[in-house]
Structure 1
Amino acid sequence: MPYEPPTHTVERSLRATTGAKVIAGVDEVGRGAWAGPVTVCAAITGLRRPPAGLTDSKLLTVKRRTELAAELREWVTGYALGHASAEEIDDLGMTAALRLAAVRALEGLPVRPDAVILDGKHDYLGAPWRVRTVVKGDQSCVAVAAASVIAKVHRDKTMAELGIDHADFGFAANAGYPSPVHKAALEERGPTPYHRLSWAYLDALPRWRHLKKVRVRVDGAASEVEGQLGFDF
């Protein structure tokens, strides 16, 4: 299906209105998975013409996405990846884990950005970063699209490697997301060390639901169960 290529419109707007010179695009992958880390990429691209075919990673075939990621890693001015583990997601909750991963990525860049373009409508990053949120930024903004492709390819590779010792779970194909193979392995074997134990999928596993973690709010006023971003079987 034809799609409009991403542009530097948001980057140019930030330069004009805020004086920002170094702008990073930020995107995440793995938010809705049952297993594995949430991964964030921060990419600085400048205003150069991007490689042909750049768009949201989800719109690309695996082959093209992998090829494009290799091109982008050479083309971008700089990029860095940050991760929050399944254990950190369980302990902190997804919003705080996303921020942790994003800060790790931004602090890994060769230069600190003056502004950040964050994919989506929610600013999970906050101060002291100067943030512009853009819905579907991974389709419309060059820097965010580049970040989305690099993050997706990196995390998929990571999940395939984690799956070597857990072949029944199909991580190489499902990257830790819900799938029939993943569900069947969970029912038979229970969660691996890479699974998020606060996620709602455990409610549907009678043999393993005792493993579910409940996170207590910092103020101790109440408990809240993470995993509402998980999917029912």
Structure 2
Amino acid sequence: MPYEPPTHTVERSLRATTGAKTVAGVDEVGRGAWAGPVTVCAAVTGLRKPPAGLTDSKLITPKRRAELAPLLEGWVTAYGLGDASPQEIDDFGMTAALRLAAVRALEALPVRPDAVILDGKHDYLGEPWTVRTVIKGDQSCVAVAAASVIAKVHRDTMMAELGVESGEYAAFAFDANVGYPSPVHRAALEALGPTPHHRLSWSYLDALPKWQHLKKVRISAEAAALESGGQLGFDF
């Protein structure tokens, strides 16, 4: 089905109500994965017309995402990327890891933004940033949509490279599942156990008796509510 293209409506509102001159759109990818980092992109786009077909990365085919990402990287005014590792996710919980990755992405920008449009309803960034949360912002806001595509392609590429750089990881098919739940991924975990790229506080280990002793106890109780990766299903 066709989708309405994203606009600069929220960005214009922030400029009018807060006086912000530089507004960054922020989106994340990898929250529900069993393996790999959570990745955040911060993108500054100004008010220019975006490339055709821009929308939430989940609504774009992998082929089109791969074509669109380099176009966006050249089109945006600036973008920054930040990752939080599986170990940081295990140690601090997902909300803190998201904030860590987001701050890294924002600090990678050449200019500190005056305001941030954050995809979703939860402000995991907090002070001292001026934040406007927007549900489905990756569909409705140009800067957030651009961030979603750049973040997705960056993380997918990183995970695909893990799958081919060493024969010991080939069985996990990271090039296909990019660290998310899948039957092949689960079978490899059951046979071989988690790699250094896996999150050891995720509940997938509860279903793998041979490796349950490796599970880490999370510091943060809120992480359980965010752990969609604990389901033995698909989340691509």
The superposition leaves residues 147-177 of structure 1 with CA deviations (integer Å, 9 ceiling, x where unpaired) of 0000000000000111222011010010100
Give the CA deviation at 1:224. 7.9
CA RMSD across the alignment: 1.3
TM-score, structure 1 as length reference = 0.95
SS in 1 for 2:210: coil
- The answer as to whether partners of 2:50 and 2:142 remain within 8 angstroms in 1 is yes
**Structure 1: segments with no counterpart, 5+ residues:** 218-222
**Counterpart of 1:168?**
171
d(CA) in 1 for partners of 2:14, 2:150? 23
**Counterpart of 1:134?**
134
Matched to 1:214, the amino acid is: V
The superposition leaves residues 25-84 of structure 1 with CA deviations (integer Å, 9 ceiling, x where unpaired) of 000000000000000000000000000000000000111001110100000000010000
Matched to 2:230, the amino acid is: F
SS in 2 for 1:63: helix
SS in 1 for 2:83: strand
- The answer as to whether partners of 2:26 and 2:102 remain within 8 angstroms in 1 is yes
TM-score, structure 2 as length reference = 0.94
- The answer as to whether partners of 1:198 and 1:225 remain within 8 angstroms in 2 is no
d(CA) in 2 for partners of 1:10, 1:32? 27
d(CA) in 2 for partners of 1:70, 1:202? 37
Summarize the alignment of residues 190-201 of structure 1 with structure 2, pairs less than 5 Å apart. Answer: 190-201=193-204
SS in 2 for 1:42: strand
Give the CA deviation at 1:231. 3.0
**Counterpart of 2:27?**
27
**Counterpart of 2:63?**
63
**Counterpart of 2:108?**
108
**Counterpart of 1:188?**
191
**Counterpart of 1:48?**
48
% identical aligned pairs? 79
Write 1 or 2 for the structure with the bigger share of helix.
Answer: 2
Pairs aligned (count): 228
